[in-house]
Amino acid sequence: MSQEHELHPHEEGHYDYPPRKAYFTVGEMVLLAQSSHEPSRQHLDEWIFQLWREFKLGDEVPIVYPGYSENELLLFKVTPPISDEVPAPDSEAEPVYISFVHLAIPSLLPVEEEDEAALRAKDVKLIKLLMQFPKPEVPIPIGETDIAFRRALPNWCLAASGHSITDPGPGALPQPVDSVVITGKPEGDKHDTSVPDGAIQSVKVSRGINASIQSVQEVNVVIFDTAPPERLANACARIPLSNNPLLHRMKDREAAGKFTIKYALGAGRPSIDLPPNLEQTVKEYKGYAHNGQYNMSDHGLFIAGVIAGYVEPDSTQPANNISIYLVETQNHYGVGTITSLAQGIQALLDEKVVPSDRMDYPLVINCSLCVNFVNLEALITCYEDWENCTEVQLATLASADPHEKEEIESLLIPLLSLQQHFAPHGVRIIAASGNDSANRATPRETRFPAAFNFVVGVGATDKAGTGRMDYSNKGDVPPHKGLMTFGGKGHWVGGLYKTDTCGDGMLGLYIGEFPDEFKLFKGEPSIHGTPSSNGWAWWAGTSFATAVISGVCARAAASLVDITERFQDDYIEELRNTAMTVTRYQELMIRIPQLT
């Protein structure tokens, strides 16, 4: 195979945003408790009180958040070994139950008009409290209960792919599409679902990808992401079919039960609740991310449209056997927490996302999101001497070998429980590698969850599939296990990193407002911007490359490929044997043609 043509980082411009001020929600923590049975909320409350006294943590016992729904527990059943290295359970081991307990320390919660210095001081106090907990090799029984202590961790933030030190967003800013040329429009077809120039099309590479869309195997695709506040029916009422057939096809899918949005509480029907302090406004958003953010509530819809457009190129191939579910686990600014993702996973396991009569079908999980685990001791050093802390110091907070960090357990356990639960029917988790490599000579390492061994990591290439996009991290850990595919191109324009609008960006659904770039340039949040007139946008990031691979995986599952056993190894090797290009790190580049 030929080596990639290297794409050099852009020299023009830089993000003029302040350093990231927080990596986890202020004043909150997560306790992981292990038991051999399902504990009640009362037993957990008693156990937490005993735990506080056992470890002499002070008089202020934390508040237990009631899950995100009344009387609901986040509880994950896992068969040992609980390890990223060995995802397959031990057939002789008894399953254990891991309670995921979301807590708040009342005195450390943010209050009205608190400045960032005060919030950093509260973060330091929280970290020092967490450091009083032991880090046991095996769970520690507490009192007379059957509940043992595993870990105490911050409630880590996660974000739409690209959760870096300074920019927790996609690889480049979304751009409006001035005009869309619809090709192959069947005359007189009122349900025309032809695709415009620039839309993702089928890949002609391998039997799992090139197979007939109308195969007999039913498949579920679940996306954990943002959700659009506007209903698709309302968007279709103001955007003509002739301007956006994909949007109308998604509305028809929704009406037929083949596309479902599970909204957070307060954003429609109350199915999935976001954390109490993770609201949809900038005011509550302050304190755990920088202020130069923009509303990206269409991020999840864009991804759903890419997947639908890939598995169902037009109305002549409806792919009625593939159902797509968009679960809102992040706010409109693309930010969620470990707990909000765990709650979404719990809802899926509890049959609140996919109907019970479809739970036995193969499942593809799209995680176009990243978590940036950092060294807490180093973070204290930076926060206590903030005036002298540099971005270089902040950028070195991540551990050289994150697999050895106990912090990953709060992300590992919910995903591992999901993987084990659906493995008998076929399951594959696909995740974005991250977008924080722009202006670097070499790409950064893969972010979690893409870095987990049982997750397929995805990076982004250019449209031709011949070179890595400069924003894209390495595809996976190790890199040769990762996949690289088209994710859209970005470039520096006037100090902002924007998606290309000349055919090299990725085209997808966008029904909200585009960000106010003038405010972003000044480092201010963009609350309102220019509305989308036709429901299309150019966008770029590993998030969207991940959506393409999720479509590839869904097509493979529909073609009776065992995605649990084969997709990561034999199936990728099959793709490798037919592909023409690999990166210098031996990541496989899959060429995804667009209409031109």
Domain ranges of the chain: 2-16+164-590
What SS3 state is found at 265?
Answer: coil
DSSP 425-486: G-EEEEEE--S--TT-SSPPPPPBTTTSTTEEEEEEE-TTSSSB-TTPPPSSSSGGG-EEEE
The continuous run of DSSP H or E covering 553 comes out as: helix 542-558
Residues 6+ away with beta carbon under 8 Å from 265: 68, 272, 273, 274
pLDDT at 120: 85
In angstroms, the CA 84 to CA 331 distance is: 28
Provide the CATH number for the domain formed by 2-16+164-590 in this structure: 3.40.50.200
What SS3 state is found at 285?
Answer: helix
Cα–Cα distances in angstroms (integers) from residue 170 to residues 62, 295, 300, in the given order: 35, 12, 12
In angstroms, the CA 524 to CA 164 distance is: 18
Cα–Cα distances in angstroms (integers) from residue 477 to residues 414, 427, 438, in the given order: 20, 20, 19
Q: What is the pLDDT along the chain (596 residues), one digit of tens a residue?
A: 344 433 333 333 332 334 445 688 888 899 999 999 998 888 888 898 889 988 888 887 787 765 445 446 789 999 988 888 755 666 688 999 999 998 888 898 878 777 778 888 998 999 999 999 998 888 998 877 789 999 999 988 888 755 333 344 678 899 998 865 544 443 334 434 444 444 444 333 333 344 444 457 899 999 999 999 888 999 999 998 778 888 998 999 999 999 999 987 644 433 444 444 444 444 444 444 444 468 888 999 999 999 988 777 655 566 788 999 999 988 887 888 888 899 899 989 999 899 999 999 999 999 999 987 888 888 898 888 888 887 677 767 765 455 556 778 999 999 999 999 999 999 999 999 998 887 778 888 898 999 998 999 999 988 877 788 889 999 888 887 888 888 999 988 888 889 998 888 888 999 999 988 877 776 666 667 888 889 999 999 999 999 989 988 888 888 887 887 766 666 666 665 555 566 666 676 676 544 32
pTM to 2 decimal places: 0.88
